[in-house]
Amino acid sequence: MLSDMSLFQLYGAMARHAAESQQTSAENLSRANEPGYKAVELESFADFMKRNGPDIEKIDFNQSFQQTLNLDHASPNGNTVSVEEQVFRSAEAVGKHNMAMTVYSKSLDMMKLALGRRS
């Protein structure tokens, strides 16, 4: 069973993953015209959880997310950045970050309410 602290660590890691995903997309977009640049991809949060095992209580949520180079579909100058894909991933990251922060905030509100505090 998840302890309350593990749950907050999970939400924090979800928000950090979304922020790192946004940063990765921004870096890729900024280098979209650079000859030979290989786009970087961040592992999904689901892959991060699978890689760290089934016991959520033992996961170190402060460890880094894995990055890989995208070697597919290079343009004639060798660049593998797809602007459309990076814009989509960036927007997706914003939504995931908002979701993680909303769930974190609502969980914190419920804890406060359970302790008899309203603000």
Model-level pTM?
0.82
Which whole number is the average pLDDT over 38-67?
Answer: 89
Residue 94, pLDDT > 50, answer yes
119 domain-assigned: no
Mean pLDDT, all residues of the chain = 89
Which whole number is the average pLDDT over 6-28?
Answer: 92
pLDDT of residue 2: 46
Residue 9, pLDDT > 70, answer yes
pLDDT of residue 1: 38
26 domain-assigned: yes
Domain that holds residue 89: 4-114
102 domain-assigned: yes
Q: How is the chain classified by DSSP, letter by letter?
A: ---HHHHHHHHHHHHHHHHHHHHHHHHHHHTTTSTTPPPEEEPPHHHHHHHT-S-GGG--TTSPPPEEE--SS--TTS----HHHHHHHHHHHHHHHHHHHHHHHHHHHHHHHHTT---
Categorize the per-residue pLDDT at 60 as very low, low, confident or very high, splitting at 50, 70 and 90.
Answer: confident
Total number of domains constituting the chain: 1
